[in-house]
Amino acid sequence: MKLKIFPFKKVKSTNSTAIRLINQNIKFGVVTSERQFKGRGQGTNRWISNYGNIFLSIFFPIKKNLSIKNITKINLNVVKKVIKKHINEKINIKLPNDILINQSKICGILQEIIFKNNIKYIIIGIGINLNNSPIIPNYCTSYLNKYSKKNIKKLELIKELQRNFEKKIENFI
């Protein structure tokens, strides 16, 4: 299954934009944005969206009986696998939705389920600190290019995520 990329310069959040596209009857896609002004994190947390980092949301229909716990595990492992190709550091998953390098957060995933016309959709929001990281009091953050021998290009990483999720979609449908 091919996922079409919907690129934007700025959005409130990529997940909110994915919901808007689903409501326009677009069933599969990847929303990317250079900037997001109201990025969301787990619960009521905000995702701090520093310019130069990756903000994207992947969306597609899923089986109604899939549990969010199983979906989360698959999604975290897909993102971890893509990141691992670029660095030699140990990568840890911190449940429910974080990816860490050396105990510092470099990625967060926010998953949302919505229903449209009796179809269940998953929206997988992925924020990766690629070129810089936010300063959060009493919380360690870092960025991916700090650990890479060669500068990882944003579009290259987005396309890798796209391809890896395209391979996994059959597990969800």
Q: 141, 128 in Cβ contact below 8 A? A: no
Domain locations in the chain as residue ranges: 5-172
- The whole-number pLDDT of residue 4 equals 95
Q: 32, 94 in Cβ contact below 8 A? A: no
Q: How does pLDDT run across 3-31, given as a tens digit for each residue?
A: 999 999 999 999 999 999 999 999 999 99
Q: What is the mean pLDDT of residues 131-159?
A: 92
- The whole-number pLDDT of residue 49 equals 79
pTM above 0.85, yes or no: yes
What CATH class does 5-172 carry? alpha beta
Q: Label residues 132-166 b or e (16+ Cβ within 10 Å = b).
A: ebeeeeeeebbbbbbbeeeebebeebbebbbebbb
- The whole-number pLDDT of residue 170 equals 80
Q: How does pLDDT run across 38-95, given as a tens digit for each residue?
A: 766 666 666 677 788 999 999 999 988 888 888 888 899 999 999 999 999 999 999 8
Q: Which residues make Cβ contacts (< 8 Å) with residue 45, sequence separation at least 6? A: none
Q: How does pLDDT run across 93-126, given as a tens digit for each residue?
A: 998 889 999 999 999 999 999 999 999 999 999 9
- The whole-number pLDDT of residue 121 equals 95
- The whole-number pLDDT of residue 46 equals 66
- The whole-number pLDDT of residue 41 equals 64
pLDDT higher than 90, residue 131: yes
